[in-house]
Structure 1
């Protein structure tokens, strides 16, 4: 009897071990890198996505999020993704322009009529085409995240393009961003986001441009006391996944991941609006003055940019303008 019991125990133990091992082998862990802190709305949206993916795939797909640029800057993370060391990266259209020219359309100043037009473009055929356009670069986009409108901030008021003349303005490493600041009379200075606080503090750059939550949460409101709401661009954040990681999943899990990403994008709209209100109030309490300028001189100054576009991007711009 004891011998039989011992054999049975061994068989059950072995079966459990094999089952656990098979389960472990079946589980896919996707590493996601982004450069914001845990309080940022986009981190909260992606956390909700990871929770949904784990539940809907019954643990077959797990997304592990690394915030605060733990795994490198956005550009470094994109390179790691292309090398297969990362699976998912939260980047933005400005950074992605270097990998797929279609993203440059999002970086053009004053292209979108309003926030609803911006959303309609992303959620329609044009937006999906842009997400797919980077497949030859080893990744595709899953969804867009609202990142508000980008505006200038500095240690002095900027009421018109004249006030930008001679200023060293930090920009993302995007040809479109560089061209825009040049058209407005500033000196564009590409710089990694993580280096910007010190650069502003020490006068390496005089000004920068970003949305209100990033301006506040990054601490830039401590060293730049004037933000001009010229709202020159609406550059979305973009969640991208390597084609290697995406194609390795079953069609069912691909659909779940895509759907969860879209759900998180909708959640992000609400989180973003709340964050924008909260962070503006916080910045104002820190002594920041928000300026509402006449946008007309800014809009007129950047029009030559549209004359320099390639035929392909001009056609894409026309598609975007045609979206209702």
Structure 2
């Protein structure tokens, strides 16, 4: 009897030991899984072609996230509007159907009015001035202000500055007087052209080339890569680098996606976005230089504006009229100037 009890006791201990071992194994596996973090595959929508500096910036961002999560978070970049045009993509990002996108800051004014400040003329003295503002408290506040619209801004990318190209040479403000200049149709742009003494002529972008050829318009405005790739240089050969507008790009994540992520993954994604800016800006600078070299090789006369103050003085009525809506942003831009 004592022997039977002894055997029963040993078996009970063995069973209990195996149960404890089983429980311990389960807990370890769960802990390991938690330590590894969740795995994701996200999509990033891009309207530019695959070899465009902004798209390459997107890819650098995706590469950094992949490296820093050891392949746990993958971001696939879809260039050339494969996932839709800008407006439709923004709507999909708000819903969480598309996780990331890169857009111009212009349409974002619809969701956070502060972004409308970039439409104001000559508010930045140069590229360095703009980037000092963007990387400061006010620039970051604008990115965070998109959260109420179910998006979160991660970083800014460069898209250069917009300047005038015309049939007749323009070397100073007064030379624009009476010229018919094509603009995008909004109040600030119309007032900008008028303040410089020219006649604002709204026109769809696709009609600009024929408008320049036929003389319906005397000039237009854009950054140098667009002036080149749209072949507008074939119709008008004078380009004055006045840099009247600097409209940055914005890398976005859906708020729906952001809220799913752990605090650690949020930090990784935010930092990867910021770190990708250096690559994007370097590539954009190279792209601009190559575009400018090609324009000059094709007979375009390029004039640099070395003193922007006369231009700023000419458009002061525009700032006075529309600046009321951007007091905080303009104050921060002025502070960045110092």
Shared fold, TM over 0.5 = yes
Asked if structure 1 preserves the Cα contact closer than 8 Å seen for 2:157 and 2:248, the reply is yes
Q: Deviations over 1:128-157 (max 9, x none)?
A: 111111211221211011222211224554
Q: CA shift at 1:83, angstroms?
A: 3.9
Closer/same/farther in 2, CA of residues 156 and 243 from structure 1, 3 Å limit: farther
**How far apart in 1 are the matches of 2:177 and 2:109?**
25
- After superposing the two structures, state which structure 1 stretch, 143-152 or 60-69, moved more: 60-69
Tell me if the contact between 2:133 and 2:332 (Cα under 8 Å) persists in the aligned partners. Answer: no
**Aligned position for 1:308:** 321
1:221 and 1:287 map into 2 onto residues whose CA distance is: 9
CA distance in 2, matches of 1:226, 1:148: 18
Counterpart position of 2:78:
66
Deviations 1:242-268 (A, max 9, x none): 211222222211111111111111222
Rounded to whole Å, the distance in 2 between the matches of 1:66 and 1:228 is: 35
1:221-275 CA-partner distances (Å, limit 9, x unpaired): 4454332211112221111222112222222111111111111112222222222
Q: 1:82 aligns with which of 94, 109, 113?
A: 94
1:269 to 271, 281, 287: 281
Alignment of 1:321 with 2:308, yes or no, is no
Farther-moved stretch of structure 1 (175-184 vs 225-234) = 175-184
Unaligned 5+ residue runs, structure 1? Answer: 1-21
- Equivalent residue for 1:126? 138
What is the CA–CA distance in structure 1 between the aligned matches of 2:259 and 2:74, rounded to whole Å? 16
Mapped partners of 1:140, 1:33: distance in 2: 15
TM-score normalised by the chain length of structure 1: 0.80
> Once the 2 structures are TM-superposed, how far is the Cα of residue 307 of structure 1 from its aligned partner?
1.4
Instruction: Provide closer, same or farther for how the CA distance between residues 268 and 174 of structure 1 changes in structure 2, counting only shifts above 3 A.
Output: farther
Distance change (3 Å), C-alpha of 1:285 and 1:310: closer
Tell me what 1:227 maps to: 239
Query: What residue is the counterpart of 2:108 in the other structure?
Result: 96
DSSP-derived class of the 1:85 partner: coil
- The alignment of Structure 1 onto Structure 2 pairs a total of residues equal to 295
Partner of 1:8: none
Q: Answer with 140-149 or 92-101: which moved more.
A: 92-101
Q: 154-163 vs 101-110, which deviates more?
A: 154-163
Tell me which of 205, 211, 214 is aligned to 1:203: 211
Q: Is the 8 A contact 2:167 2:238 kept in 1?
A: yes
Structure 2 partner of 1:289: 301
Distance in 2 (alpha carbons) for counterparts of 1:178 and 1:31? 37
Q: Which has the larger radius of gyration?
A: 2
Contact 1:33–1:89 (Cα < 8 Å) also in 2: yes
| Partner deviation per Cα, 1:287-316 (whole Å, 9 max, x = no partner) | 322233575553233111221236451132
How many angstroms does 1:113 deviate by? 2.8
Structure 1 residue 161: Cα displacement:
5.8
Contact 1:54/1:60 (<8 A) preserved? yes
Partner of 1:55: 67
Report if aligned partners of 1:161, 1:298 keep a CA contact under 8 Å in 2: no
TM-score (normalised: structure 2): 0.77
What is the alpha-carbon distance in structure 2 between the residues aligned to residue 86 and residue 223 of structure 1?
40
